[in-house]
Amino acid sequence: MRDSLSLMLGLLDYRTVSFESAEAFLKTYRDEWAGCVVADLRLPGMSGLELQAELRARGKKLPFVIITGHGDVKSARAAFQSEAVDFLEKPFDEVELRAAIEKGLDKESRRIQHAQTANDQASKLAKLTRREREVLELVGKGLHAKEIAASLNISARTVEVHKSRLMTKLEARNVSELVRFALAAEKG
């Protein structure tokens, strides 16, 4: 089954790597891997659901498509609770599998893009001085320059200079984007 599935996916222009067991996958797995895991519910040793749970326990969000010849509601529920993108019962057709994998790859692409955005924001925020962070925090709270100046015991003109530097360092086009960065900084 593993070889025929790998061949079919290769013919559909997917790059595939197959493993004889979940344990073999975990032994080889690298954090930088991206893609979509297609795992059988029943594998020798650890099951596909156990593999999915193990990766989730490690904080990994690779999307999963669980396939099985012995599906039941309990197994499907467990797969979806662990964020599987689909649960396909054998025999499934190429169209179903492809749709499930595409859904998984779309999810993975969004996850990677979100992580990259968060890294970019963190990198930009790291360039700020202590005073710029204070000004950014108060901008995020909706305070105007005079209110920020009074709060920090500086002049309104100095606040405007800090805001200008914030706009440049954070590559923000307007105050709304500064607020977005302030909210991200609160979370981070």
User: Do 106 and 133 share a domain, yes or no?
Assistant: no
Residue 57 domain-assigned? yes
Mean pLDDT for all residues in the chain: 91
At 117-168, the pLDDT tens digits run 888 888 898 899 999 999 999 999 999 999 999 999 999 999 999 999 999 9
Q: Are residues 44 and 87 in the same domain?
A: yes
At 29, which CATH number? 3.40.50.2300
Are 41 and 89 in the same domain? yes
Domain shared by 152 and 91, yes or no:
no
Over range 9-35, report the average pLDDT: 92
Give domain status of residue 120, yes or no.
Answer: no
Q: Domains in the chain: how many in total?
A: 2
Does residue 177 share a domain with residue 107?
Answer: no
Q: Flag whether 31 is in a domain.
A: yes
Mean pLDDT of 67-86: 90
Q: Based on the fold, state whether residues 147 and 104 are members of the same structural domain.
A: no
Would the pLDDT of 188 be above 70?
no
Same domain, 104 and 11: yes
Does residue 122 lie in a domain region? no
Q: Pick from 114, 142, 171: which residue ends a domain?
A: 114
Distance of alpha carbon 9 from alpha carbon 83, whole angstroms:
22
Shared-domain flag, residues 145 and 170? yes
User: Is 119 part of any domain?
Assistant: no
Q: Which domain holds residue 98?
A: 2-114
pLDDT above 80 (res 49):
yes
This prediction's pTM: 0.72
